[in-house]
A and B are shown apart, each in its own frame.
Chain A
Amino acid sequence: MDNKLLEVKDLRVSFFTPAGEVKAVDGISYDIHENEVMGVVGESGSGKSVEAYSIMGLLANPGKVVGGSITFQGEDVLAYTEEQRRDFRGKKVGMIFQNPMTCLNPVYTIGDQLMEALRCHDKSISKQEARARAVEMLELVGINNADKRVDQYPHEFSGGMRQRAMIAMAMICHPKLLIADEPTTALDVTIQAQILDLMKDLQKKTGMAIIFITHNLGVVAEICDKVSVMYAGHIMEQGKVNDIFYAPAHPYTKGLLRSLPNLDEKERNRLIPIEGTPVDLLDPPKGCSFGPRCEHCMKVCLTKKPPLVEVGDGHVSACWLHVKEMKAQKAGKEENV
Chain B
Amino acid sequence: MSGERKKLVEVEKLRKYFPVKSGFMKTNYVQAVQDISLHIFEGETLGLVGESGCGKTTFGRTLLQLYTPTSGKIVYDGKTIFDSEKNIHEKMLPYRRKMQLIFQDPSASLDPRMTVGEIVGEALDIHKLHQGKTERQDRISELLTRVGLNSEHANRFPHEFSGGQQQRIGIARALAVEPEFIVCDEPISALDVSIQSQVVNMLEDLQEQIGLTYLFIAHDLSVVRHISNRIGVMYLGCLVELAESYELCAHPIHPYAQTLLSAVPIADPEKTRSRQRILLEGDIPSPLNPPSGCRFHTRCPYATEKCSQEIPQLKEYSPGHYAACHMLDK
Contacts and interface: CB of A to CB of B under 8 A. Distances in A.
A145 to B, nearest CB: 12
A270 B201 contact: yes
A202 to B, nearest CB: 15
Interface stretch (B16-24, B81-89, B222-230, B319-327): B222-230
Interface stretch (B96-104, B138-146, B269-277): B269-277
A191 B268 contact: no
B269 A271 contact: no
Contacts of B270: 242
B195 interface: yes
Nearest to A216: B265
Interface stretch (B32-40, B110-118, B129-137, B256-264): B256-264
Nearest to B45: A268
Contact of B283 (A43, A161, A215, A266): A161
A160 B283 contact: yes
Contact of A215 (B193, B204, B272): B193
Contacts of B200: 261, 271, 273
Contact of B277 (A43, A44, A161, A193): A193
B30 to A, nearest CB: 16
A293 B164 CA distance: 15
What's the interface size class on B, roughly?
Answer: 35 or more
Contact of B195 (A189, A218, A245, A277): A277
A218 B162 contact: no
Contact of B272 (A190, A191, A218): A218
A219 B268 CA distance: 10
Given A189-B51, A242-B270, A218 B265 contact: yes
Question: DSSP class of A's interface residues: helix, strand, loop or mixed?
Answer: helix
B273 A259 contact: no
Contacts of B263: 189-190, 192-193
B52 interface: yes
B192 interface: yes
B272 A221 contact: yes
Which of A217, A222, A275 has the most chain B CB within a 10 Å cutoff? Answer: A222
A260 B267 CA distance: 8
A289 to B, nearest CB: 13
A261 B283 CA distance: 28
Contact of A221 (B51, B262, B267, B277): B267
B154 interface: no
Which of A196, A260, A261 has the most chain B CB within a 10 Å cutoff? Answer: A261
Interface string B218-246: 01011101100000000000000000001
A320 B192 CA distance: 25
Interface in B292-309: none
B52 A188 contact: yes
A272 B221 CA distance: 18
A126 interface: no
A190 B197 contact: no
A257 B268 CA distance: 10
Given A189-B260, A189-B263, A261-B222, A221 B269 contact: yes
A136 to B, nearest CB: 21
A158 interface: yes
Given A192-B265, A245-B268, A277-B164, A261 B223 contact: yes
A161 B281 CA distance: 12
Contacts of A63: none
A78 B209 CA distance: 57
A175 interface: no
Contact of B221 (A159, A189, A216, A278): A189
A261 B269 contact: no
B194 A273 contact: yes
B249 interface: yes
Contact of B219 (A188, A255, A263, A266): A188
B198 interface: yes
A261 B225 contact: yes
B222 to A, nearest CB: 5
Given A261-B225, A263-B249, A273 B198 contact: yes
Nearest to A157: B283
Contacts of A263: 221-222, 225, 249, 264, 266
B31 interface: no
A274 B191 CA distance: 13
B165 interface: yes
B196 interface: yes
Interface string B181-211: 0000000000011111110110010000000
A256 to B, nearest CB: 6
B192 to A, nearest CB: 4
Contact of A190 (B51, B194, B246): B51
Given A193-B279, A266-B246, A242 B269 contact: yes
A196 B272 CA distance: 12
A44 B163 CA distance: 11
27 contacts: A159-B283, A188-B52, A188-B284, A189-B51, A189-B221, A189-B263, A189-B264, A190-B51, A190-B263, A193-B262, A193-B263, A197-B279, A218-B267, A220-B267, A245-B267, A245-B268, A245-B269, A256-B194, A259-B193, A259-B196, A261-B225, A261-B226, A262-B222, A262-B226, A264-B249, A268-B226, A277-B164
Interface of A: 43-44, 158-161, 188-194, 196-197, 215-222, 241-242, 245-246, 255-257, 259-264, 266, 268, 270-275, 277-278
Given A221-B272, A246-B269, A261-B226, 16 more contacts: A44-B192, A159-B283, A188-B284, A190-B260, A191-B51, A193-B265, A215-B192, A218-B265, A221-B269, A245-B267, A259-B196, A261-B197, A263-B249, A273-B196, A277-B162, A277-B195
CB-CB nearest 4 A-B residue pairs: A218-B265, A261-B226, A273-B197, A193-B263
